[in-house]
Amino acid sequence: MVRAVRDSLVKGRHLAVQAGTGTGKSLAYLVPSIRHAIANDTTVVISTATIALQRQLVDRDLPRLAEALKPVLGRKPTFAILKGRRNYLCLHRLSGPDPVDDADQLFDPFAISAMGRHVKRLHEWSSDTDTGDRDELVPGVPDSAWRQVSVTARECLGVSRCPVGTDCFAERARHEAGRADIVVTNHALLAIDALENSTILPEHDVVVVDEAHDLVDRVTGVATAELTSAMVATAARRCGKLIDQAVADRLEEASEGLDMVLTDAPLGRWESTLPAPVAGALTAVRDATSACRTGLGPERKEDPDHATSRKLALALLDEVNETSARLLAAFVEEDPAKRYDVVWLAEQGPDASRGRVLRVAPLSVGGLLRERLFGPRTVVLTSATLTLGGSFDALARQWGLPAEKPKPEGAELKDGKEEVDPIADADVPKWSGLDVGSPFQHERAGILYVAKHLPTPGRDGLPKAYLDEIAELVTAAEGGTLGLFSSMRAAKQATEALRPRLEQPILCQGDDSTGLLVKRFAEDDATCLFGTLSLWQGVDVPGRSLRLVLIDRIPFPRPDDPLVSARQRAVDSRGGNGFLTVSATHAALLLAQGAGRLLRGMDDRGVVAILDPRLATARYGGFLRASLPPFWPTTDPEVVRAALRRLATKPS
């Protein structure tokens, strides 16, 4: 991997590397990245999806590497962490009045006093912190409180105009990053920097995307916009005393109009056009925000309070204006296959308590990534899971890269690892795929058990046969089970049904913070932990405490997910197989991540048990199985229970 990354940086050719847990992949990209940065007097950007990996890089790997490489490189390499502006405390906002923007909290004394306590704590923290970085605040505060003391890039006054700009945490982080050899950031900021052509990140010609399996979702998140009537009302309130009351009232009326038409509009994805009343309401919102914008007039430099209020109003006006214009333009193209955006209406909050939201998201981000990320830079993508069904193609397509060429004769590296030649067409980005494998011997250390005899899972919760199967497996293993369920409802149902039946303690996600639950699970061999999506990717428990990973069903996305259904239909309309390309790919990625929880250390042994029989019987089952680590496979319940009993009695 080190050689491949070095070659990629030297030749300016993109690289995708699948590197299993325990290969030391972060060192394998950090060393050539540091060398590239120092040799070319430039910055290399490393992007991660999770805070845990960011911390590992900045607190552990990079400090050690900097020391170790200093004698070789002639100077100590430098590194910095950089996040979006919203992640840093804004000293200017902190010193100003705190407008309660959230309409839900306006008349709720409890919410206001809870907010007051959080904001007071943030004031105290501001004099202790060196970085103002939200992730360093433990315990954290709710988003609504953090919003009172932070600003978005749009809301920031700009360092030259800000009265406390010289002490600004976000500016300090940017300054540090500008001088560093390595800058560690997250996928969201990387996406904003690349897609919006902004210059948040220092100038760079190389990006390493770790946890690259998450890139498309994070980029889609950045490129998704939402509009609610509450946002429009807040924009009108922010304009308040700054503009002519009649102009602000027009926006307030537009907000009420939008609220009314959204209440009556059909929920779900809108396929052919905007309902006429919604189009009318959006036009009113767009025009009223434009009028307010004009009404705000130029900035009064001599009055910092006015400048702040104006900037906060302007930021939200622009957001509302751009989103309503984008929604109005979404159906202008008549051919659905050529449309760029997908539009849908959804309920917000528990029991739809927070009203309705209009969302607009790109059908695909591949084109954007290809043009804005892969076009100007050399990109190294890496993760423990990048090949699905045995190939990089599924993810490459989502990144906007062409499929791999079939493996040429003799494309074996000396150490037996596969390398695929870049494709030859000059107009498409050139890339190579490399699977460096895993240090684990999966077929000796783990069993993949598919419960082929069980019924296909239905819509009405876990059938009794599933609960019985789980009870038998957990009993044979004497606990030590991580239950990964496709819904919180199923995780809770299994917990409630099995707690009285089993001797082993069962923790359920939501009982406490996930971090604490994982800690308790790791500390006791008998304890089981049941939960859903965040456990699929976030649990790293080496050793005997985790010897059985249970997966209740193939984690297909919901068929009514608007983006998934639109993406499937788009593939179908081009003559492809939308289900395989979109839903099965999504499920394969999650299954591989879930199964990857089992072996975390060289001495680990255990079983991945998938209760959904479709993995063995359905036509797409082969693709999904080929996406999993090569465990020893069985569908025989007696064989697997005997193996679990041996594991339970014989410490590895």
Quick check: 90 binds ligand SF4 (CB under 6 A)?
yes
Residues 6+ apart with CB under 8 A from 588: 388, 389, 394, 623, 624, 627
Pairing relationship of beta strands 341-347 and 268-270 according to DSSP bridges: antiparallel
**For ligand SF4, which stretch binds (CB under 6 A), given 83-91, 428-436, 499-507, 588-596?**
83-91
**How near is the Cβ of 154 to ligand SF4 at its closest, in Å?**
11
Please report, as residue ranges, which positions from 132 to 191 form the binding site for ligand SF4 (by CB under 6 A).
151, 156-157, 159, 162, 164-165, 168, 170-171
Quick check: 328 binds ligand SF4 (CB under 6 A)?
no
**How near is the Cβ of 97 to ligand SF4 at its closest, in Å?**
14
> Of the two residues 162 and 248, which places its CB atom closer to ligand SF4 in the complex?
162
Measured distance between the N- and C-terminal CA atoms of the chain, rounded to whole angstroms: 30
For 260-265, the CB contacts below 8 A with 24+ separation are 262/229, 262/345, 262/355, 262/356, 262/358, 263/356, 265/345, 265/356
Q: Binding ligand SF4 by CB under 6 A: which of 92, 430, 547, 605?
A: 92
Count the site residues for ligand SF4 by CB under 6 A. Answer: 15
> Of the two residues 164 and 328, which places its CB atom closer to ligand SF4 in the complex?
164
**How near is the Cβ of 80 to ligand SF4 at its closest, in Å?**
17
**How near is the Cβ of 310 to ligand SF4 at its closest, in Å?**
13
Quick check: 91 binds ligand SF4 (CB under 6 A)?
yes
**How near is the Cβ of 313 to ligand SF4 at its closest, in Å?**
14
Residues 6+ apart with CB under 8 A from 619: none
**For ligand SF4, which stretch binds (CB under 6 A), given 85-93, 229-237, 431-439, 579-587?**
85-93
**For ligand SF4, which stretch binds (CB under 6 A), given 90-98, 126-134, 222-230, 559-567?**
90-98
> Of the two residues 127 and 272, which places its CB atom closer to ligand SF4 in the complex?
127
In this structure, what DSSP letter does residue 649 have? H
Residues 336 and 573: beta-carbon distance below 8 Å: yes
**How near is the Cβ of 167 to ligand SF4 at its closest, in Å?**
7
Partners of residue 226 on adjacent β-strands: 359
Closest-CA residue to 638 (of 447, 462, 501, 491)? 447
> Of the two residues 200 and 599, which places its CB atom closer to ligand SF4 in the complex?
200
Quick check: 247 binds ligand SF4 (CB under 6 A)?
no
Closest-CA residue to 579 (of 624, 646, 632, 536)? 624
Residues 619 and 459: beta-carbon distance below 8 Å: no
DSSP H or E segment with residue 446 = strand 446-450
Residues 634 and 448: beta-carbon distance below 8 Å: yes
> Of the two residues 142 and 158, which places its CB atom closer to ligand SF4 in the complex?
158
**How near is the Cβ of 137 to ligand SF4 at its closest, in Å?**
17
User: Whose structure tokens read 């390493």?
Assistant: 208
In this structure, what DSSP letter does residue 580 have? I
Q: How many CB atoms lie within 10 A of CB 441?
A: 11
**How near is the Cβ of 316 to ligand SF4 at its closest, in Å?**
15
> Of the two residues 149 and 528, which places its CB atom closer to ligand SF4 in the complex?
149
> Of the two residues 92 and 269, which places its CB atom closer to ligand SF4 in the complex?
92
CA-to-CA distance for 498 and 257, rounded, in angstroms?
A: 50
Please report, as residue ranges, which positions from 614 to 633 form the binding site for ligand SF4 (by CB under 6 A).
none
**How near is the Cβ of 170 to ligand SF4 at its closest, in Å?**
5
**How near is the Cβ of 189 to ligand SF4 at its closest, in Å?**
15
CA-to-CA distance for 540 and 557, rounded, in angstroms?
A: 24
> Of the two residues 6 and 175, which places its CB atom closer to ligand SF4 in the complex?
175
Pairing relationship of beta strands 481-484 and 506-508 according to DSSP bridges: unpaired
CA-to-CA distance for 317 and 232, rounded, in angstroms?
A: 8
> Of the two residues 173 and 206, which places its CB atom closer to ligand SF4 in the complex?
173
> Of the two residues 87 and 378, which places its CB atom closer to ligand SF4 in the complex?
87
Q: Return residues touching ligand SF4 (CB under 6 A).
A: 85, 90-93, 151, 156-157, 159, 162, 164-165, 168, 170-171
